[in-house]
Amino acid sequence: MKRPEWDEYFLKLARVVKERSNCLRGAVGVVVVKDRHIIATGYNGTPAGVKNCFEGGCERCLHREKNILSENERKDLCLCLHAEQNSLLQAAYHGIPTKGATMYATTAPCLQCAKAIINAGIVKVIYEENHQDDLGIELMSSVGIKVDQYKKS
């Protein structure tokens, strides 16, 4: 039996976390790790107590699904949290510092999440799939956060 190396292990867990997503538009999972210990997880979807996105909780996602809105139209109306935001908020909610941690994500962070990642003190981001743009990666890299796309060897 071959044990997975650490990056592969934490990304496999991020894939399991993404199964909890309740967003109509796609699923993303995140695991935040410090000293090889999981300190937080997050998936995308509506805030706690709000009807699940796939049950109609986010009207913007519903309109996107029905092609009433285009892909980048009215993002300000979306109620869903991104997986990265959710993981950082969960750590804060439980009083767990993220300074110096590594984030494993099934998809590269967007620009909005990159700003939160920077201010949360995350020092490394490892992701599997590209985001529709590279603005998040560019911003994180510009401030010295190590950002790598995982390629299974």
Q: Which residues are catalytic?
A: 84
What DSSP string runs through 64-114?
A: HHTTSS-TTTTGGG--PBPHHHHHHHHHHHTT---TT-EEEEEE---HHHH
For residues 60 and 35, is the Cβ–Cβ distance under 8 A? no
CA nearest neighbour of 112 among 144, 146, 78: 78
Instruction: Judge residue 3's burial from the number of C-beta atoms within 10 Å of its C-beta, 0-12 exposed, 13-18 middle, 19 or more buried.
Output: exposed
β pairing state of 102-107 and 29-34 = antiparallel
CA nearest neighbour of 137 among 119, 111, 99: 111
